[in-house]
């Protein structure tokens, strides 16, 4: 009875936050068990960091996943990745439907918030569709990676397990790998690189976009049967393509005579293409990030900050947020009252949310980086650039690292834990949880007075 009263008093956003907190607590407890690590022991901070990184599908690590964790520990990490990638509310709602239990309206709202979905889908159809798409994509990735790994000489059992782990990790944009050098050893194996790349790109588009694309029939002559692409689908696909092409061109230009200098033309193209997309919250790498030029690191920072798309397995401020803000800038320059994207006017509430997300995100990254500098900035082995990179990577739930994360102090690791958590649930969601809006004040309008800006 008490739990029901507490649940009724919570907003849908608070339920999402508590769902992730619960998963992290359970994961931390399981990773602290002696059977989870090769040495039989792990510090509580490292267990918390690993559980948070897996649940928030980040990929930053303080221990080698393939060497320092046993099969049990790796399975715990894999389950946390799957739950975090799908969304805690999606998983819990799925099991309620399987048991024939009724899903409350508050839980439905929480699920829609976590997926960025409106009311165009029924709850049962939405959950089952998400689970089906996830199972299908991960199964296809598993089969493809299994054959690719066996062709490289990996034993069948090891290849099957490795393929499953990396398929789930890639589709959920987690970036966890069983290999110490991530996927660097497979740069000369396009099959592996292409499969992983395809999985995290599809996972980063968002479930709502994938469902909309699955219903589109462009080959039909009758336009009424083709199915319409939503505005979100158009924005997500166009912005993702533009960022991918821009990243590819700039990465080739910056690294052609640096990290790519000793590679073949095929490896240069695959490596550049992979690293133009992996900062969009995937976290895998085929080249050493710490060896890249400062210009490349700055480009990577920008891509990590943008991140994936709404309702996806990735983090960042999201592609749609970037599109709305750029659209607003265009309207201001052209002195238009509306923000128009693909012939559709963007609602004022969406514009305010986009501005709020960007502003809150910038301040969060600034203060969390400042906190890292206070805790670990005095270390001679850690520069401002490295700590800033780790902070943005954690906020965007990317997982790319310059190699300093395992060497952070306990305070530094806890700061990154908080950063990963905020990045996964989104800054706006956290702001709504910690600051309940008083609807009674919304009806009050204050007198206007202009001020100078810019």
Q: What is the pLDDT of residues 392-428, one digit of tens each?
A: 999 988 888 888 888 899 999 999 999 998 888 776 5
Instruction: Give the C-alpha separation, 76 to 28, whole Å.
Output: 9
Q: Return the structure tokens found at 434.
A: 């910690």
> How would you classify residue 249: left for phi > 0, otherwise alpha for psi between -120 and 50, otherwise beta?
alpha
Range 145-158 average pLDDT: 91
Distances, alpha carbon 51 to alpha carbons 144, 202, 225, 311, 369, in Å: 28, 24, 46, 22, 21
Question: Quick check: 308 and 173 in contact, CB under 8 A?
Answer: yes
Range 156-170 average pLDDT: 93
Name the phi and psi angles at 314, rounded to 5.
Answer: -105, 180
Q: Supply the pLDDT for residue 92.
A: 47
Q: Is the pLDDT at 212 greater than 90, yes or no?
A: no
**Mean pLDDT score of the chain:** 82
37 three-state secondary structure: strand
Range 293-315 average pLDDT: 87
Q: Supply the pLDDT for residue 96.
A: 44
What is the pTM for the complete model shown?
Answer: 0.85
Q: Is the pLDDT at 38 greater than 70, yes or no?
A: yes
Tell me which of 143-157, 195-209, 221-235, 326-340 is least confident: 221-235
Q: Which residue has the higher pLDDT, 120 or 226?
A: 226
Range 139-162 average pLDDT: 92
Q: Domain map of the chain by residue range? A: 9-218+227-433
Q: Supply the pLDDT for residue 87.
A: 65
Q: Return the structure tokens found at 231.
A: 């505005």
Name the phi and psi angles at 340, rounded to 5.
Answer: -115, 130
Question: Quick check: 311 and 208 in contact, CB under 8 A?
Answer: yes
Q: 195-223 burial, b for 16+ CB within 10 Å, e for fewer?
A: bbbbbbbbbbbbbbbbbbbeeeeeeeeee
Q: 370-409 burial, b for 16+ CB within 10 Å, e for fewer?
A: ebbbebbeeeeebeeebbbbbbbbbbbbbbbbbebbeebe
Instruction: Kindly state the percentage of the chain with pLDDT values over 70.
Output: 79
Q: Supply the pLDDT for residue 99.
A: 44
Question: Quick check: 306 and 276 in contact, CB under 8 A?
Answer: no
Over residues 356-388, the pLDDT tens digits come to 888 888 999 999 999 999 988 887 678 888 899
Range 42-51 average pLDDT: 94
Helix-, strand-, coil-residue percentages of the chain, each rounded to 5: 65, 0, 30
């Amino acid at each position: 009875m008490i739990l029901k009263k507490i649940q009724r008093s919570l907003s849908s956003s608070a339920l999402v936050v508590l769902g992730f907190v619960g998963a992290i607590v359970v994961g931390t407890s399981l990773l602290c068990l002696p059977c989870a690590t090769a040495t039989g022991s792990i510090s509580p901070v490292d267990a918390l960091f690993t559980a948070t990184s897996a649940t928030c599908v980040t990929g930053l690590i303080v221990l080698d996943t393939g060497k320092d964790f046993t099969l049990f520990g790796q399975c715990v990490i894999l389950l946390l990745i799957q739950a975090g990638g799908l969304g805690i509310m999606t998983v819990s709602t799925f099991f309620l439907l399987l048991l024939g239990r009724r899903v409350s309206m508050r839980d439905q709202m929480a699920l829609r918030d976590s997926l960025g979905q409106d009311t165009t889908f029924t709850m049962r159809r939405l959950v089952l569709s998400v689970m089906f798409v996830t199972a299908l994509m991960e199964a296809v990735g598993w089969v493809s990676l299994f054959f690719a790994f066996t062709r490289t000489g990996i034993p069948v059992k090891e290849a099957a397990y490795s393929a499953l782990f990396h398929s789930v990790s890639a589709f959920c944009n987690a970036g966890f790998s069983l290999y110490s050098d991530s996927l660097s050893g497979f740069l000369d194996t396009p099959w592996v690189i292409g499969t992983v790349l395809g999985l995290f790109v599809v996972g980063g588009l968002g479930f709502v976009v994938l469902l909309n694309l699955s219903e589109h029939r462009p080959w039909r002559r009758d336009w009424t049967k083709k199915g319409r692409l939503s505005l979100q689908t158009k924005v997500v696909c166009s912005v993702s393509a533009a960022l991918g092409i821009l990243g590819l061109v700039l990465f080739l230009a910056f690294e052609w005579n640096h990290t790519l200098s000793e590679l073949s033309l095929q490896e240069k193209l695959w490596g550049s293409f992979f690293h133009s997309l992996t900062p969009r919250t995937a976290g895998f790498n085929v080249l050493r990030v710490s060896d890249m030029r400062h210009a490349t690191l700055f480009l990577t920072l920008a891509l990590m900050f943008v991140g994936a798309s709404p309702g996806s397995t990735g983090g960042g401020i999201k592609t749609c947020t970037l599109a709305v803000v750029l659209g607003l800038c265009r309207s201001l320059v052209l002195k238009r009252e509306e923000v128009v994207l693909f012939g559709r006017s963007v609602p004022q509430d969406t514009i305010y949310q986009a501005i709020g997300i960007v502003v809150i995100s910038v301040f969060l990254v600034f203060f969390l980086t400042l906190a890292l500098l206070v805790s670990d900035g005095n270390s001679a082995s850690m520069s401002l650039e490295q700590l800033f990179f780790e902070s943005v990577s954690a906020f965007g739930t990317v997982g790319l690292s310059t190699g300093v994360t395992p060497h952070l102090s306990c305070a530094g690791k806890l700061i990154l834990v908080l950063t990963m958590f905020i990045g996964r649930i989104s800054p706006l969601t956290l702001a709504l949880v910690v600051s309940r809006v008083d609807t009674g004040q919304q009806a009050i309008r204050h007198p206007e007075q202009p001020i100078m800006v810019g």
